[in-house]
Amino acid sequence: MIQKKHVAVLGGGSFGTVLANFAASNSYQVSLWVRDAEQALRINSEGANTTYHPDLKLSNNITANDDLASVILGAEYVLVATPSIIFEEVISRLEPLINSSVAVISCTKGIKPEPFRTMTDIITQHLGHIIGNKVGVLSGPNLAKEIAEEKIAGTVIASENERVAIEIKSMLSSNTFKVFSSQDILGVELAGALKNIYAICCGIAHAKLVGENALGFILTRSMAEMSRFAVAKGANPITFLGLAGMGDLMATCTSRLSRNFQLGELIAMDLSLIEAKERVGQVAEGARTLEVVFHEANKMNVSMPLVNSLYKILYSDASSDQLIQDLIDHPNEVDVEFTYQEQS
Give me the active site residues, please: 195
Sign of CA dihedral 158, 160, 164, 166: positive
Q: What is the DSSP string of 261-298?
A: HHHHHHHHTT--HHHHHHHH-S--THHHHHHHHHHHHH
* Cα angle: 2, vertex 102, 127; to 5 degrees: 170
Output b/e per residue, 93-112; b: 16+ Cβ within 10 A: ebeebbeeebbbbbbbbbbb
CB 246 within 8 Å of CB 230: no
Q: What share of the chain is helix, strand, coil (3-state, %, to 5)?
A: 50, 15, 35
Alpha-carbon distances of 285 from 85, 152, 200, 205, rounded to whole Å: 9, 24, 10, 19
The answer to whether 269 touches 283, Cβ cutoff 8 Å, is: no
Which residues make Cβ contacts (< 8 Å) with residue 110, sequence separation at least 6?
A: 83, 84, 85, 87, 119, 193, 285, 288, 289
Q: Cα 259 to the chain's mean position, in Å? A: 12
Helical packing angle, 212-233 and 286-300, nearest 10°: 60
In DSSP terms, which residues pair with 259 in a beta bridge? none
Pairwise CA distance, residues 144 & 156, whole Å: 15
- Give bridge partners of residue 257 from the DSSP assignment: none
CA angle 239, 87, 19 (to 5 degrees): 65
| 8-state DSSP, 237 | G
